[in-house]
Structure 1
Amino acid sequence: MDFPIRRLITIVDDKFVDAGRPADRLLRKVAVVAVVPNPHVGRYVQDLSPMVEASRGIGARMAEAAIAALGPHAAESYGKGGIVGLSGEQEHANALLTTTFATPFRDAIGDAPAWISSMTKVAAPGTLIDVPMNAKTDVYVRSHYDGMSLVLPDAPLPDEIALIFCLANRGRLNARVGGMSYAESIAAQKKLQPA
């Protein structure tokens, strides 16, 4: 199954101040969106495995764009999402957002064993989607619970799917609710690796 990317959109959001306090280092969030045709519009298909396998190439292309947009900053957190146009079903986005799709991102950013938060929906162009994000090292790092809110004014069309992957170079500015720190999650991860 071939999924030509009709559009590739990159959004970069740099945050320098929060609650009137300048950040010790900026928070850069990046979203990469690939808009692809939906081959199953208007009909139910039981076996979605060809979509799963085809998502690998889409993920690789999106990962390259995401890393370029992150620039000199290393990724610390991530999240993914998808919006299916009104002639499709939610499961079509989920089929394209499995581990097969995410592996190129994990490979590109390195040391990313944590589960990736996700959100999918069926909606018209211009619908808001909140993509949840968490630390790439451990889902329990509270400082990195965050997200990106995105609106695509003219996508997806009824016969399209918009796939979204988000990265951030750090946790929330002024995070202070305790829990495992990002540094502690890295140390714990290193202990689990074979010597």
Structure 2
Amino acid sequence: MPQPNFVGYHIRKWFTQTEDTLANETGVLADGDPVRKIVIAAAVHNPYAGRFSQDLGDIVADSPKLGEEFGRRALEAAGGLAIQSYGKACLVGTAGEYEHGNAFLTAVFADPVREAVGGGKAWVPSTGKRGGPGTVLDVPLAHKDALYVRSHYDTITVSFSDAPHPDEVVV
């Protein structure tokens, strides 16, 4: 296993993507601030790649610290704008199992993100899949305080040109 470089994890790479929408699909200008979508992701070594384990504690144990870092990075990318919605996703490298990605996305990871964005009363919608570098992933988004706010149902599509390696999970 590669040497840990962030709490108990080895993170090969962090990704930050921002997208600002100034007008809708027909060209009508935003009726307020532009809609900013932010993606924070990390290519993390999967300690269970290539093997089965009932216990995924090596992933879950330090995930609150990982969640804190995701929250910190999201606030930084927001540049002072209020965060209104959120989502989470994983892309598991081909030597891993889908459940390895889910282990990164548990409530113990998400709770520090909720705190960072100002509470987050609603559950964080999530998805994931297995694939290699360049795999397209649609991250579901929903209002952070009330799941059924239709104006905030959305997705953001992402891919990472060199991640995940077979023994990584992009979170």
Higher strand share: 1
1:76 aligns with 2:84: yes
Looking at structure 2, the residues matched to 138 and 162 of structure 1 have their Cα atoms a distance apart, in angstroms, of 27
1:22 aligns with 2:29: yes
Offset from partner CA, 1:46-68 (integer Å, 9 cap, x none): 11133212211211112111110
Pairs within 5 Å for 1:83-122 = 83-122=91-130
5+ residue gaps, structure 2: 1-6
Aligned to 1:46: 54
**Structure (1 or 2) with the larger CA radius of gyration:** 1
Find the partner of 1:9 among 10, 15, 18: 15
1:37 aligns with 2:37: no
Looking at structure 2, the residues matched to 6 and 151 of structure 1 have their Cα atoms a distance apart, in angstroms, of 16
Looking at structure 2, the residues matched to 84 and 151 of structure 1 have their Cα atoms a distance apart, in angstroms, of 12
Pairs within 5 Å for 1:119-158 = 119-158=127-166
Contact conserved, 1:5 with 1:58, CA < 8 A, in 2?
no
C-alpha RMSD of matched pairs (Å): 1.1
TM-score, scaled to structure 2 = 0.92
Q: Percent identity?
A: 42
Letter in 2 for 1:129: L
Higher helix share: 1
TM-score, scaled to structure 1 = 0.81
Looking at structure 2, the residues matched to 84 and 36 of structure 1 have their Cα atoms a distance apart, in angstroms, of 10
Aligned to 2:64: 56
